[in-house]
Structure 1
Amino acid sequence: MNKIPSVNLADFLSDDTTRKQKFIDEIGHAYENIGFVALKGHFLDDKLVDNLYTEIKNFFDLPTDVKEKYEIPGIGGQRGYVSFGKESAKGKKEGDLKEFWHFGQYVDKDSKYADEYPENVQVEELPNFNKVGKETYQMLEKTAKFVLRSLALHLGLEETYFDNYIKNGNSILRPIHYPPIKTEPKGAERAAAHGDINLITLLMGAQGKGLQVQNHNGEWIDAMAEPDELMINVGDMLSRHSNNKLKSTIHRVVNPPKEMWGTSRYSIPFFMHPISDMKLDVLENCIDDKNPKQFDDITAGEFLDERLRELGLKK
């Protein structure tokens, strides 16, 4: 595959069984072959998207010393601010050329996960920042639920198979700022080649050049969404669970050409994670003589912990 397929969630949500099946077939084929789709018909409206970009630009424009007071020690960067160059791709010593923020799950106080997740960090200087972040988080979580329902059916599971695993799941909304590049980056990229950890990732802000996906032939292809599309890819957790039937594709954000070094880039991925006690054991119906079991049994929490250490976010 040399381009990212486009699908429309309205097909899956329609009462027309033919349209619904068309969506399941299209997204299933895309995730078995390239691991990415561009999705129309999601639950974000233009006003919310505009408000979010306004808020995150306002946050990243704050003085460094103000931003750094929201960098919370001891939580592996799971909430609040992570400063420039702190995160690196697995196996890469250079830090990525980015700073970012994390909004996390909003759980009820009586939930058993309330003690497991750090509190979301409130930004005093921007009264609407957290409100807009929460609303975006919940609309992306809702979109992801229906994408996973379509994938459950594609994998021969009951449609709502993932629902209880993602309710109160450890999902993260990450507004990223790639600042202007001031000096020749020595081996560093805006985001070095990597696979995502989670079940699926929903990416806002893939309209400009920069994001590239590696296809099965090892070629890097540009992944660019239309203004009304989210880019959605499979993560390593779902790839493991499906015995690599659904592909977690290596991708990167390359540095712009030199004449554009003076510009910022913003992108906003939503990393859909399940609850930590979800078993990622390979599904029985994804194992056969041609496809023997490829992965050891592990829980989502154990797998996440392992990967955060590899990324340098946890010691």
Structure 2
Amino acid sequence: MSVPTISLHDFDARRQDIINELMDASMNVGFFTLSNHGIPLEDVRSAFDLSRRFFALSPETKSKTPLNGKNAGWESQTQVRPSTGTADQKESLQLQFARMEGLWPANEDVPDFKVKAERFMNQVRDLSVKVMECLAEGLGLPLTTFTEGTVDPGLGDSQDVLRLLHYHSTEGKKFGPNFWRAGAHADFDVLTMLFQRDGEGGLEVCPGRKVVGDFGMGATWLPVEARLDRIVCNIGDQLMRWSDDRLKSTYHRVRLPEGGESSGPRYSIAFFNQARTNTIIQGPGKKYPPITGGDFIAEAMARNRMQSAEIARKAAMESAEKVASQVHFIPQHLQQAQAAQHAQTA
């Protein structure tokens, strides 16, 4: 098994073939990459340059737009994955179409940041509409099911997020075996579209999830090549639920550099298509009870906060040296996955 690449060239003429490829990838892997997607490379490079300029600012300047309770703003090494119990080795800036009052970087800090960021956000959203329409058609649903459910018609209820990510350089640093640039997790959106720079790899995916809420942490991790000219896409928990588990939201992670790989910084940009606040998420077979997009996100964030708080409480009882150098607080689902892996290799 591998992560397939799907070309969008001659989109209108090849629409049914593209739908078939998207459905196969989404049902069996949960990940795919897009080539010939139509977003000019110079625009992708410009977005990365905007990201680099923001993250080059001092912490004091970046903290003028701190992460708020509405999933927007800047954070640094605050995300503790329940799958690992350690903080991701990165910082990020989360941007939205709505709820951004006072959270845009100031023009004197990064000139024209808001204008350039919103332009790129619109480009990515327009492309995601084409993909989501294909997935709706492939599922036998009305064409606009997911696009009307995610794209704000002017009500200010969009929950889409563009996340600029800066993974810190690991040069000259030592980490324990349970540290990651991004610990294993599944996205809780509809569709994620991820941009990477050439040679800045480390992204790995682990197919095998059966139902929403199942950790599905197997022993096989598939690498995803980092290429500027391809967009990495994956199904999120909202769409897995919306499709009655036909489309798979897959666990993935970003590992630290190994061997002779570059230990310098890594940049990526993720666009999360999320159900609008009042959109009702429920599949045609009604496998799960209806839930609004707003409640779905609120519940997912609350679960993460509770799990992270418990991890932090336990960590406070250990020495700093032990926390920084050893595998600790392995969650039950990972204990089970590790036991299964050892049984297979024994």
TM-score (norm 2): 0.78
User: Does structure 2 conserve the Cα–Cα contact (< 8 Å) formed by 1:178 and 1:264?
Assistant: yes
Partner of 1:9: 8
Partner of 1:82: 75
Deviation at 1:92, TM superposition (A): 3.8
Aligned partner (choices 162, 183, 196) of residue 173 of structure 1: 162
User: Does structure 1 conserve the Cα–Cα contact (< 8 Å) formed by 2:83 and 2:183?
Assistant: no
Distance in 1 between the 2:57 and 2:191 partners?
31
Partner of 2:17: 22
Deviations 1:172-210 (A, max 9, x none): 000100011253223221000000010000000064320
Structure 1, 52-61 or 212-221: larger mean CA deviation: 212-221
Sort the Cα spacing of 1:225 and 1:153 in 2 relative to 1 into closer, same or farther, 3 A.
farther
Give the aligned residue type for 2:104: V
Partner of 2:314: none
Partner of 2:57: 62
User: Does structure 2 conserve the Cα–Cα contact (< 8 Å) formed by 1:38 and 1:225?
Assistant: no
Give the aligned residue type for 1:98: K
Structure 1, 56-65 or 265-274: larger mean CA deviation: 56-65
Match runs of 1:152-171 below 5 Å: 152-168=136-152, 169-171=158-160
User: Does structure 1 conserve the Cα–Cα contact (< 8 Å) formed by 2:192 and 2:272?
Assistant: yes
TM-score (norm 1): 0.85
Give the aligned residue type for 2:264: T
Is 2:290 the counterpart of 1:297?
Answer: yes
Give the total of aligned pairs.
289
User: Does structure 1 conserve the Cα–Cα contact (< 8 Å) formed by 2:48 and 2:269?
Assistant: no
User: Does structure 2 conserve the Cα–Cα contact (< 8 Å) formed by 1:7 and 1:38?
Assistant: yes
Structure 1, 305-314 or 165-174: larger mean CA deviation: 305-314
Distance in 2 between the 1:221 and 1:243 partners?
25
Q: Which runs of 5+ in 1 are unaligned?
A: 107-116, 288-292
User: Does structure 2 conserve the Cα–Cα contact (< 8 Å) formed by 1:94 and 1:188?
Assistant: yes
Partner of 1:139: 123
RMSD: 2.2
Distance in 1 between the 2:85 and 2:243 partners?
31
Sort the Cα spacing of 1:249 and 1:207 in 2 relative to 1 into closer, same or farther, 3 A.
farther
Distance in 2 between the 1:161 and 1:272 partners?
13
Is 2:272 the counterpart of 1:249?
Answer: no
Distance in 2 between the 1:89 and 1:206 partners?
24
Give the aligned residue type for 1:175: L
Partner of 2:304: 311
Match runs of 1:1-315 below 5 Å: 1=1, 3-11=2-10, 13-14=11-12, 16=13, 19-72=14-67, 75-76=68-69, 78-83=71-76, 85-106=77-98, 117-119=99-101, 120-123=103-106, 124-168=108-152, 169-181=158-170, 182-186=172-176, 187-205=178-196, 207-208=198-199, 209-216=201-208, 218-257=219-258, 260=261, 262-284=263-285, 293=287, 295-312=288-305
Distance in 1 between the 2:25 and 2:119 partners?
29
